[in-house]
Structure 1
Amino acid sequence: MNQASSSFRATADVRPRVRYAPTDTAQTLLQAPGTLAVFDFDGSAAHADDPRRLRVPLRTPSAHPAPLEHWQVEATVEHGREGALQWSSGGGWLFAALTLDEREHGGPEGAARESYAQLCAFLERRPQRHVQRLWNYLAHINDGEGDAERYKQFCAGRLDGMRDFFRDGFPAATAIGHRLDAPLLQVYCLAAEQPGERIENPRQMSAWRYPRQYGPTPPSFARAMRLRGDASLAISGTASITGHESQHHGDLQAQLHETLTNLRALLRSSALPERFDDGDPLKVYVRHAEDAPTVEAFLAEHVPDAPRLLLLGDVCRRELLVEIDGWRFA
């Protein structure tokens, strides 16, 4: 186990800071006091020596490299590895991640089962066991028909691997498909010593109550999570869905408007102002690279102040063209 030097005093009730940073600053960020995690969106998922650094198998739809994502806490940070699991913790917060090859676990269901079993077993031993937010990136999420669709297989394995760890309720989450040739599953989370407050969207059915048409195992996540000791909100992947049904098939502009309406409904449910400011980073997943300019123009008009990271990725339903997650900090 290693410890990153820091001049910060541990403050367990203060949430992490999340921001985007220039691509060439990774080493500087890792040396900064209180760095909990640094994410590279270079599409490679290559191994990094520092457990706080994670290469995510998604890339930007443009020719320009994506900015880094930086998580920072006002505390001394320690970090280490346990087999395939990499982690860091400080100030009452914890980052943990696993990257598994499906071929070693019998496919997406087995890989999801193994990744969540390992993650939950690790968290059970930690004081920061309360998961606030999860991210899941798996290869070719929409391949397969009916119950054989890869996303549905992933959902079944995930729930099986969780067992009763989330018996008090599911955290906020995102699940997006990447396009690497290697069938890698990457799961990472932000957890805390204290539980957060789960937030649902009154315009949408809770995901774990979805009807059978979406698979034998419904998705297992809350629409958002309010962080303890703060009005800040960790927002799940949000798309053009009302009730449980996808809206505006094939119409990108209409899907963008519906998605933004859902995001504003979440903010309203959380008693937060219905806007995103310059400290509220958003991550935007675009299915088709050619749609990126339209998406960027829409965001520039409707959420002009929010830092944005556009990534090329497949939304869990074939008919959905765009999905947005992110943070609303008080």
Structure 2
Amino acid sequence: MVCRAPRVSYRNVDAAQALAEPGMLAVIGFGAGREETDDPRWLRLPLEPFDAPAPLECWEVDGPVGCGQTGDIRWSRGGGWLFASVSLDESASGGIETCAAEAYRQLAQFLVGQDESQVLRVWNYLPDINQGDGDGERYKRFCSGRARGMGAAFVGGFPAATAIGSPGCNGRLQVYLLASSQPGARVENPRQVSAWRYPRQYGPTPPSFARAVRLPAGDALAISGTAAVIGHASAHQGDLPAQLAETLANLEALLAAAGMPAGFDTHSPLKAYVRRPGDARAVRDFFRQHLPAVPALLLHGEVCRRELLVEVDGWRYA
């Protein structure tokens, strides 16, 4: 049985304090200055926050939580939900494509036989996502490796997902996911071509994700990384305000397609990945003007297309 959706919030607390709370499924920290812990529910991402002090991202569920580690997979479960993460050294794997294949192979193998085997949401963070040209670009090679590693794991439908470059990080691919014992409802954006149907110009293997997934309890929408893309083409090259406005239009279109209440409010924690640090203030001002009630976390991250300056993902609770 699946209880209500995990509650995701940004909180200025210590990791140990957050992890000690009942029902804490996962705690995610950002940036190089974070403390470390061996708790499998803890994950630190190398993306540097523009907020100081930087909050933690906390996932809470109804019911007791158990956790452990199986090989490279760190996991926790409770209330019908499963958090799992894997962090692999790319240099030890022979490159980003083989590293992605191995990460997804391990995750797919781990999920076999789990009660919570329905993957609803995945996050991917990899170094230098735009490095390389043509089919040799690292993001395109990552997509090929991901598809090879996942095999038939998502034959019932792709999860919502984010893939962001981590500038100056430690050479590790980090992947984490949210799964459930029941499937969610995939949501596509009528303003955009579905990612798995992208034409060949975007690489030999199209990205494998849904634009959003409504969680099985029906009370929350997990929103994939969303940017200024219309159809399959990037819009407003070099124009940050226009890209932000287009991104917001895409987010609002997803809410409508999912049958969620219009608009974003205090029940809509969002993350904005900002390519150029000098743009952070303008992005923050945009949120304050257009999304004033939204809990927003701004991170220094590289979007998967070079011409895109910002990407937004997050949650909308009913």
What TM-score do the two structures reach when normalised by structure 1? Answer: 0.94
Q: Percent identity?
A: 56
Question: Contact 1:20–1:68 (CA<8 Å) still a contact in 2?
Answer: yes
* Range 120-129 or range 253-262, more displaced: 120-129
For 1:87 and 1:231, the matched residues in 2 are separated by 24
Q: Does 1:322 find its partner at 2:310?
A: yes
For 1:164 and 1:44, the matched residues in 2 are separated by 38
Query: Counterpart of 1:258 in 2: which secondary structure?
Result: helix
Q: 1:26 aligns with which of 3, 15, 20?
A: 15
Question: Contact 1:139–1:185 (CA<8 Å) still a contact in 2?
Answer: yes
| Deviation digits for residues 188-226 of structure 1 (CA, Å, limit 9, x no counterpart) | 000000000000000000000000000000000000000
Question: Contact 1:97–1:189 (CA<8 Å) still a contact in 2?
Answer: yes
Structure 2 matches for 1:75-154, cutoff 5 A?
Answer: 75-154=63-142
Q: CA deviation at 1:181?
A: 4.6
For 1:231 and 1:14, the matched residues in 2 are separated by 7
Runs of 4+ in 1 over 4 A off after TM superposition: 44-47
* Range 120-129 or range 38-47, more displaced: 38-47
For 2:25 and 2:209, the matched residues in 1 are separated by 24
* Range 304-313 or range 64-73, more displaced: 64-73
| Deviation digits for residues 69-126 of structure 1 (CA, Å, limit 9, x no counterpart) | 0001011100000121100000100000000011111110011000000001001121
Q: Does 1:15 find its partner at 2:1?
A: no
Aligned equivalent of 1:56: 45
Query: Counterpart of 1:96 in 2: which secondary structure?
Result: strand
Query: Counterpart of 1:112 in 2: which secondary structure?
Result: helix
* Range 282-291 or range 222-231, more displaced: 222-231
For 1:44 and 1:240, the matched residues in 2 are separated by 31
For 1:289 and 1:182, the matched residues in 2 are separated by 19
Q: CA deviation at 1:233?
A: 0.3
| Deviation digits for residues 236-260 of structure 1 (CA, Å, limit 9, x no counterpart) | 0000001000000000000000000
Aligned equivalent of 2:161: 173
Q: CA deviation at 1:44?
A: 6.9
For 2:169 and 2:47, the matched residues in 1 are separated by 12
| Deviation digits for residues 141-162 of structure 1 (CA, Å, limit 9, x no counterpart) | 0000000000000000000000
Letter of the 2:6 counterpart:
P
* Inter-CA distance 127–151: structure 2 relative to 1 (3 Å threshold): same
Q: CA deviation at 1:277?
A: 1.2
Aligned equivalent of 1:5: none
Query: Counterpart of 1:156 in 2: which secondary structure?
Result: helix
For 2:186 and 2:3, the matched residues in 1 are separated by 17
Letter of the 2:268 counterpart:
D
Question: Contact 1:39–1:54 (CA<8 Å) still a contact in 2?
Answer: yes
Segments of structure 1 that go 5 or more residues without pairing to the other structure are: 1-10
Aligned equivalent of 1:256: 244
Segments of structure 2 that go 5 or more residues without pairing to the other structure are: none
Query: Counterpart of 2:49 in 1: which secondary structure?
Result: coil
For 2:92 and 2:196, the matched residues in 1 are separated by 28
